[in-house]
Amino acid sequence: MSVQTKLYEGKAKVIYSTEEPEILLADFKDDATAFNAQKRGTIQNKGVINCTISSKLFQELEALGIKTHYIDTPAPHQMRVKAVKIVPLEVVVRNIAAGSLCQQTGLALGTVLKKPLVEFYYKNDQLGDPLLTHERLLLLELATVEQVETITHLALQINQFLRDFLARCDITLVDFKLEFGLDSQQQILLADEISPDTCRLWDTSQETDPNLRVLDKDRFRKDMGNVENAYQEVLNRILKAVESKN
Protein backbone atom coordinates (compact mmCIF):
# COMPACT_ATOMS: atom_id res chain seq x y z
CA MET A 1 0.00 0.00 0.00
CA SER A 2 1.36 3.38 -1.01
CA VAL A 3 0.76 6.27 1.40
CA GLN A 4 0.19 9.58 -0.33
CA THR A 5 -0.55 12.87 1.46
CA LYS A 6 -1.15 13.82 5.07
CA LEU A 7 -4.78 14.95 5.13
CA TYR A 8 -5.24 15.72 8.80
CA GLU A 9 -3.41 15.53 12.09
CA GLY A 10 -5.47 15.35 15.24
CA LYS A 11 -4.64 14.89 18.90
CA ALA A 12 -4.32 11.11 18.67
CA LYS A 13 -3.95 10.21 14.99
CA VAL A 14 -2.58 11.32 11.64
CA ILE A 15 -4.75 10.56 8.60
CA TYR A 16 -3.15 9.94 5.21
CA SER A 17 -4.60 9.41 1.76
CA THR A 18 -3.69 6.23 -0.14
CA GLU A 19 -3.61 5.26 -3.81
CA GLU A 20 -7.27 4.27 -3.39
CA PRO A 21 -9.57 7.32 -2.97
CA GLU A 22 -12.07 5.41 -0.82
CA ILE A 23 -9.39 4.18 1.63
CA LEU A 24 -7.40 6.19 4.19
CA LEU A 25 -4.59 5.29 6.57
CA ALA A 26 -4.88 6.21 10.25
CA ASP A 27 -1.55 6.38 12.09
CA PHE A 28 -2.08 6.23 15.87
CA LYS A 29 0.23 8.48 17.92
CA ASP A 30 1.71 8.16 21.40
CA ASP A 31 0.78 11.78 22.10
CA ALA A 32 -1.67 12.35 24.94
CA THR A 33 -3.84 15.40 25.54
CA ALA A 34 -6.50 16.39 28.05
CA PHE A 35 -8.77 19.34 28.80
CA ASN A 36 -9.05 20.31 25.10
CA ALA A 37 -5.26 19.97 24.64
CA GLN A 38 -4.43 22.30 27.54
CA LYS A 39 -2.49 19.39 29.02
CA ARG A 40 -0.09 17.52 26.76
CA GLY A 41 2.23 14.57 27.19
CA THR A 42 3.21 11.16 25.86
CA ILE A 43 2.02 7.70 26.82
CA GLN A 44 4.60 5.12 25.80
CA ASN A 45 3.30 2.62 23.20
CA LYS A 46 -0.17 4.19 23.28
CA GLY A 47 -0.47 4.25 19.50
CA VAL A 48 0.08 0.51 19.16
CA ILE A 49 -2.16 -0.31 22.14
CA ASN A 50 -5.07 1.87 21.03
CA CYS A 51 -4.83 0.74 17.42
CA THR A 52 -4.86 -2.91 18.49
CA ILE A 53 -7.76 -2.50 20.93
CA SER A 54 -9.79 -0.53 18.39
CA SER A 55 -9.18 -3.02 15.59
CA LYS A 56 -10.26 -5.97 17.79
CA LEU A 57 -13.42 -4.20 18.97
CA PHE A 58 -14.31 -3.00 15.47
CA GLN A 59 -14.02 -6.57 14.20
CA GLU A 60 -16.25 -7.82 17.02
CA LEU A 61 -18.84 -5.14 16.21
CA GLU A 62 -18.71 -5.94 12.48
CA ALA A 63 -19.49 -9.57 13.35
CA LEU A 64 -22.66 -8.30 15.06
CA GLY A 65 -23.71 -6.40 11.93
CA ILE A 66 -22.64 -2.91 13.08
CA LYS A 67 -20.88 -1.23 10.18
CA THR A 68 -17.56 0.47 10.94
CA HIS A 69 -14.86 2.21 8.93
CA TYR A 70 -12.33 -0.51 9.81
CA ILE A 71 -10.60 -2.45 7.00
CA ASP A 72 -7.38 -3.91 8.41
CA THR A 73 -4.14 -3.13 10.28
CA PRO A 74 -1.10 -3.06 7.95
CA ALA A 75 1.17 -2.20 10.90
CA PRO A 76 0.76 -2.37 14.71
CA HIS A 77 0.09 1.38 14.98
CA GLN A 78 -1.75 1.81 11.65
CA MET A 79 -5.28 1.10 10.54
CA ARG A 80 -6.68 1.19 7.01
CA VAL A 81 -10.15 2.68 7.10
CA LYS A 82 -12.95 3.55 4.72
CA ALA A 83 -13.05 7.23 3.86
CA VAL A 84 -15.99 8.93 5.58
CA LYS A 85 -17.23 12.44 6.18
CA ILE A 86 -17.25 12.73 9.95
CA VAL A 87 -20.54 13.88 11.48
CA PRO A 88 -19.38 16.79 13.71
CA LEU A 89 -20.78 15.23 16.87
CA GLU A 90 -19.11 13.51 19.78
CA VAL A 91 -21.60 10.92 21.02
CA VAL A 92 -21.13 10.10 24.69
CA VAL A 93 -22.85 7.12 26.29
CA ARG A 94 -22.91 7.00 30.09
CA ASN A 95 -23.68 4.04 32.34
CA ILE A 96 -22.22 5.39 35.58
CA ALA A 97 -21.89 9.01 36.70
CA ALA A 98 -18.38 10.41 36.27
CA GLY A 99 -16.59 13.44 34.87
CA SER A 100 -18.68 16.32 33.57
CA LEU A 101 -21.96 14.57 34.43
CA CYS A 102 -21.05 14.79 38.11
CA GLN A 103 -19.78 18.36 37.77
CA GLN A 104 -22.91 19.58 35.98
CA THR A 105 -25.60 17.67 37.89
CA GLY A 106 -24.23 17.06 41.39
CA LEU A 107 -24.56 13.30 41.00
CA ALA A 108 -22.03 11.43 43.12
CA LEU A 109 -19.14 9.78 41.30
CA GLY A 110 -20.01 6.13 40.75
CA THR A 111 -23.79 6.54 40.75
CA VAL A 112 -25.20 3.80 38.52
CA LEU A 113 -27.70 5.28 36.06
CA LYS A 114 -31.10 3.61 35.75
CA LYS A 115 -30.61 3.45 31.99
CA PRO A 116 -27.80 4.47 29.63
CA LEU A 117 -27.65 8.19 28.88
CA VAL A 118 -26.77 9.29 25.32
CA GLU A 119 -25.42 12.82 24.96
CA PHE A 120 -24.31 14.85 21.94
CA TYR A 121 -21.43 17.32 21.99
CA TYR A 122 -20.54 19.70 19.16
CA LYS A 123 -17.17 18.56 17.77
CA ASN A 124 -15.61 22.03 17.69
CA ASP A 125 -12.37 22.74 19.56
CA GLN A 126 -12.76 26.51 19.29
CA LEU A 127 -16.06 26.33 21.16
CA GLY A 128 -14.78 23.76 23.64
CA ASP A 129 -16.94 20.87 22.33
CA PRO A 130 -20.14 22.07 24.08
CA LEU A 131 -22.99 19.81 25.16
CA LEU A 132 -25.94 20.23 22.78
CA THR A 133 -29.66 19.99 23.24
CA HIS A 134 -31.52 18.08 20.54
CA GLU A 135 -32.98 21.36 19.28
CA ARG A 136 -29.59 23.09 19.05
CA LEU A 137 -28.16 20.11 17.18
CA LEU A 138 -30.92 20.42 14.58
CA LEU A 139 -30.67 24.22 14.53
CA LEU A 140 -26.99 23.97 13.59
CA GLU A 141 -27.86 21.30 10.98
CA LEU A 142 -25.12 19.02 12.28
CA ALA A 143 -27.25 15.98 11.41
CA THR A 144 -30.77 15.21 10.25
CA VAL A 145 -33.53 13.91 12.51
CA GLU A 146 -33.18 10.48 10.89
CA GLN A 147 -29.38 10.47 11.33
CA VAL A 148 -29.70 11.39 15.02
CA GLU A 149 -32.18 8.54 15.53
CA THR A 150 -29.88 6.08 13.74
CA ILE A 151 -26.79 7.23 15.65
CA THR A 152 -28.64 7.01 18.99
CA HIS A 153 -29.81 3.48 18.19
CA LEU A 154 -26.30 2.42 17.14
CA ALA A 155 -24.72 4.01 20.21
CA LEU A 156 -27.02 2.03 22.51
CA GLN A 157 -26.32 -1.19 20.59
CA ILE A 158 -22.57 -0.60 20.83
CA ASN A 159 -22.92 0.19 24.53
CA GLN A 160 -24.71 -3.09 25.21
CA PHE A 161 -22.05 -5.06 23.36
CA LEU A 162 -19.15 -3.26 25.04
CA ARG A 163 -20.64 -3.60 28.53
CA ASP A 164 -21.09 -7.35 28.07
CA PHE A 165 -17.73 -7.90 26.38
CA LEU A 166 -15.74 -5.85 28.88
CA ALA A 167 -17.54 -7.50 31.80
CA ARG A 168 -15.91 -10.74 30.64
CA CYS A 169 -12.59 -8.90 30.97
CA ASP A 170 -13.44 -7.86 34.57
CA ILE A 171 -13.74 -4.27 33.34
CA THR A 172 -16.69 -1.97 34.05
CA LEU A 173 -17.62 0.39 31.23
CA VAL A 174 -18.38 3.71 32.95
CA ASP A 175 -18.83 5.87 29.85
CA PHE A 176 -17.32 6.35 26.40
CA LYS A 177 -17.21 8.58 23.32
CA LEU A 178 -18.06 7.57 19.76
CA GLU A 179 -17.79 9.30 16.40
CA PHE A 180 -19.68 8.42 13.24
CA GLY A 181 -19.16 9.23 9.57
CA LEU A 182 -20.96 9.04 6.24
CA ASP A 183 -19.44 6.98 3.43
CA SER A 184 -19.86 7.68 -0.29
CA GLN A 185 -23.27 5.96 -0.21
CA GLN A 186 -24.33 8.12 2.77
CA GLN A 187 -24.31 5.12 5.08
CA ILE A 188 -23.57 5.87 8.72
CA LEU A 189 -20.42 4.05 9.87
CA LEU A 190 -18.81 3.91 13.29
CA ALA A 191 -15.47 5.74 12.94
CA ASP A 192 -12.55 7.05 15.01
CA GLU A 193 -11.51 4.56 17.75
CA ILE A 194 -12.62 2.73 20.89
CA SER A 195 -9.79 2.66 23.42
CA PRO A 196 -8.73 3.76 26.92
CA ASP A 197 -8.41 7.24 25.36
CA THR A 198 -12.13 7.37 24.60
CA CYS A 199 -13.61 5.23 27.40
CA ARG A 200 -13.74 5.35 31.19
CA LEU A 201 -12.85 1.85 32.30
CA TRP A 202 -12.76 0.58 35.89
CA ASP A 203 -11.15 -2.62 37.10
CA THR A 204 -14.10 -4.59 38.50
CA SER A 205 -11.94 -6.16 41.20
CA GLN A 206 -10.78 -2.73 42.44
CA GLU A 207 -13.99 -0.70 42.23
CA THR A 208 -13.92 0.38 45.87
CA ASP A 209 -10.50 2.02 45.44
CA PRO A 210 -10.78 5.21 43.33
CA ASN A 211 -7.07 5.12 42.46
CA LEU A 212 -6.46 1.46 41.70
CA ARG A 213 -9.64 0.94 39.68
CA VAL A 214 -8.91 3.44 36.89
CA LEU A 215 -7.68 1.83 33.63
CA ASP A 216 -8.09 4.76 31.22
CA LYS A 217 -6.91 8.27 30.34
CA ASP A 218 -8.11 9.62 33.68
CA ARG A 219 -4.79 8.33 34.98
CA PHE A 220 -3.10 10.88 32.67
CA ARG A 221 -5.66 13.65 33.27
CA LYS A 222 -5.35 13.41 37.05
CA ASP A 223 -1.62 12.58 37.29
CA MET A 224 -2.39 9.22 38.89
CA GLY A 225 0.68 7.47 37.43
CA ASN A 226 1.01 3.99 35.91
CA VAL A 227 -0.75 5.16 32.73
CA GLU A 228 1.15 2.83 30.40
CA ASN A 229 0.52 -0.16 32.67
CA ALA A 230 -3.22 0.55 32.77
CA TYR A 231 -3.48 0.77 28.97
CA GLN A 232 -1.46 -2.43 28.58
CA GLU A 233 -3.66 -4.21 31.10
CA VAL A 234 -6.78 -3.33 29.11
CA LEU A 235 -5.17 -4.63 25.93
CA ASN A 236 -4.07 -7.88 27.60
CA ARG A 237 -7.54 -8.58 28.94
CA ILE A 238 -9.24 -7.81 25.62
CA LEU A 239 -6.84 -10.04 23.67
CA LYS A 240 -7.43 -12.86 26.15
CA ALA A 241 -11.21 -12.46 25.82
CA VAL A 242 -11.05 -12.49 22.01
CA GLU A 243 -8.78 -15.53 21.99
CA SER A 244 -10.98 -17.47 24.43
CA LYS A 245 -14.05 -16.69 22.32
CA ASN A 246 -12.38 -17.96 19.15
Around 130, how many Cα atoms within 13 Å sit in the side-chain half-sphere? Answer: 8
The predicted pLDDT at position 33 comes to 85
For residue 109, the model assigns a pLDDT of 95
Question: Distance between CA 12 and CA 226 in Å, rounded?
Answer: 19
Pairing state between β 112-122 and 89-96: antiparallel
pLDDT at 208: 82
Q: In the prediction, which pLDDT does 1 show? A: 55
| Long-range contacts of the stretch 3-10 (C-beta < 8 A, 24+) | none
Task: For the chain of 246 residues, list the mean pLDDT of each consecutive stretch of 10.
Answer: 81 94 96 81 95 98 97 97 97 97 96 98 94 97 97 98 98 98 96 98 91 95 94 98 85
- In this prediction the pTM is 0.95
**Residue ranges of domains in the chain, CATH in brackets:** 3-82 (3.30.200.20), 85-229 (3.30.470.20)
Predicted local confidence at residue 35, as pLDDT: 77
| Ramachandran class of 168: left when φ > 0, alpha when ψ lies in -120 to 50, beta otherwise | alpha
pLDDT of residue 38: 74
What number of CA atoms fall less than 13 Å from residue 85's CA on the CB side? 8
pLDDT of residue 3: 62
The Cβ of residue 210 has, within 10 Å, a number of other Cβ atoms equal to 14
